[in-house]
Each structure stands twice: as structure tokens, then as C-alpha cells.
């Protein structure tokens, strides 16, 4: 499979004054996601995250969908990321285009279930399994997409834009997911994501999204650091992030 790198990328109100009641509703929501995850067979064996990974910081400001939509529009999305989110990969070999569409359907299904408040772990597991063990580069890095999706979902849940129980069910469904042949570093990243830890370059971008004081330049720099030259795994992680941020900010595709 060739990377879908020749795709033409689509060009990617101020909130009302807060009353006391609205200010309370817009306070960052400190939930069970902010607490240490319960010990599992996986987490008990690894009490710390991989070097450089950490939990997301609690947001200090309220967020609105208009800010998220603006941030989404200024991100420099690689062609590969766009293909994995939209399923549109013109110019690819037929078999490769089918795989891109398959991945995009699975990713959109997970995002839609998260925003809808799905709490069935088996439902999430079924969809997530479809993204696992897709093969080596240049095939899509499904596990990395799940890491990006989990990071963005947790961030959005702190603002109550994604239901907390849905995010908890999704993360629990990822326990032990990586199949045979998955690199140890990828398995570790997914295990860390289950427990709320994410690589520094993922955290740097996700913590900026929705921050009304984040500058466009900072968002672009964080995206470039994550995606590098637009290839796997960074572009695939970004696909997971973009999928759910887009659904929350603009509605599903």
C-alpha cells in the first residue's frame, strides 16, 4: 500500500457573558477520568508510563465548539490524515483504497459512539479490533489512531463535550487489544492510553485544542511536531484526534 500523500487537502461568536449559573456549568469537569485508573493485570505490571508520556493536565478555561472548529481549521493536516478520517484516497490502488475506507469507517464509528454516550465495552471492542494489527508501514497504524482518539476523548470529556462513562468504557475496551506482531513500543503506548498516559507530542497538541488563548502558530507547530513529514505513526495518531474533535465541533461526517 502506498501512503495516500497525493490527495488534494480541503481547506481545512464569542460566547455570551457567563452568569453565575453558566460559569458553574462551564467549569472544567473533574471526573473519574482525573483519578488513577483501577489496577488491572496490565496496569499492575506497569505502574508508570513510558518515558516521556504523562497524563493530560486539567484545562483551566471553559471551551466552546466555535473555538474547537477554528482550531480544527488551522491545523496543517497531512494528506494521509485526511484520507484516514474521510476514507477518500483517490489515486491509490483499488485494494489500498478499500483499506483506507475500511479504516475510516471504523474510526468514525468509534467517534460517533463516544459522542453518543455508548457505554458497552463489547461494542467498542468490536470496532477497535477492526483497527488492530493492520500491518507494518505503509498500512494504517490502527493502534496509534486509537491512542489519538483516547487522548482527545479524555480532553473533551473534561468539558462534558463527550460523556465520561463512554470514554471510560472505550478505554477499558482497549485492555490487551494489540495482537501478534505489534511492536512493543506500540503496545506500551496503547496500554498507557488505557491508564490515561500519552506521549508528550500527543499531549502538547491535545492540551492546546479548545484553549481560547492558544495561538494559531502554536497549534501548527504542535501538529508538525506530531506528524513529522506526514507519515506513520504521527499522521495516524492525528487522524484519531481529528475524528472526534470534528464530530464534537462540527457534527459527524
Provide the pLDDT for residue 7: 36
Provide the pLDDT for residue 179: 66
Encode pLDDT of 167-204 as tens digits: 999 999 999 887 667 888 889 999 999 999 999 999 99
Contact between 17 and 141 under an 8 Å Cβ cutoff? The reply is: no
Phi, psi of 60 (to 5 degrees): -100, -5
Asked whether residue 23 carries a pLDDT value surpassing 70, the answer given is no
Provide the pLDDT for residue 134: 85
| Band (45; pLDDT cuts 50, 70, 90) | very low
Helix (H, G, I), strand (E, B) or coil at 149: helix
Provide the pLDDT for residue 205: 97
In sequence order, the 6+-apart residues with CB closer than 8 A to the CB of 134 are 99, 103, 140, 141, 142
Percent of the chain's residues with pLDDT above 90: 61
Amino acid at each position: 500500500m502506498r501512503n495516500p500523500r497525493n490527495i488534494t487537502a480541503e481547506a481545512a461568536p464569542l460566547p455570551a457573558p457567563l452568569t453565575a449559573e453558566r460559569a458553574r456549568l462551564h467549569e472544567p469537569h473533574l471526573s473519574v477520568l482525573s483519578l488513577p485508573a483501577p489496577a488491572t493485570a496490565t496496569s499492575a505490571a506497569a505502574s508508570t508510563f513510558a518515558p516521556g508520556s504523562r497524563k493530560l493536565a486539567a484545562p483551566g478555561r471553559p471551551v466552546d465548539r466555535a473555538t474547537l472548529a477554528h482550531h480544527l481549521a488551522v491545523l496543517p493536516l497531512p494528506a494521509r490524515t485526511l484520507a484516514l478520517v474521510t476514507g477518500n484516497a483517490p489515486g491509490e490502488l483499488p485494494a489500498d483504497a478499500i483499506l483506507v475506507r475500511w479504516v475510516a469507517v471504523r474510526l468514525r464509528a468509534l467517534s460517533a459512539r463516544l459522542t453518543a454516550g455508548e457505554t458497552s465495552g463489547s461494542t467498542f471492542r468490536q470496532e477497535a479490533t477492526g483497527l488492530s494489527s493492520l500491518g507494518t508501514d505503509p498500512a494504517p497504524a490502527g493502534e496509534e489512531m486509537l491512542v489519538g482518539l483516547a487522548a482527545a476523548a479524555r480532553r473533551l470529556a473534561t468539558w462534558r463535550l463527550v460523556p465520561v462513562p463512554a470514554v471510560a468504557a472505550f478505554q477499558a475496551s482497549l485492555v490487551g487489544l494489540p495482537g501478534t506482531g505489534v511492536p512493543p513500543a506500540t503496545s506500551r503506548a496503547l496500554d498507557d492510553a488505557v491508564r490515561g498516559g500519552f506521549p508528550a507530542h500527543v499531549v502538547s497538541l491535545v492540551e492546546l485544542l479548545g484553549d481560547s488563548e492558544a495561538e494559531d502558530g502554536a497549534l501548527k507547530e504542535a501538529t508538525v511536531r506530531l506528524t513529522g513529514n506526514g507519515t506513520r505513526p504521527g499522521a495516524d495518531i492525528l487522524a484519531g484526534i481529528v475524528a472526534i474533535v470534528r464530530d464534537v465541533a462540527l457534527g459527524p461526517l
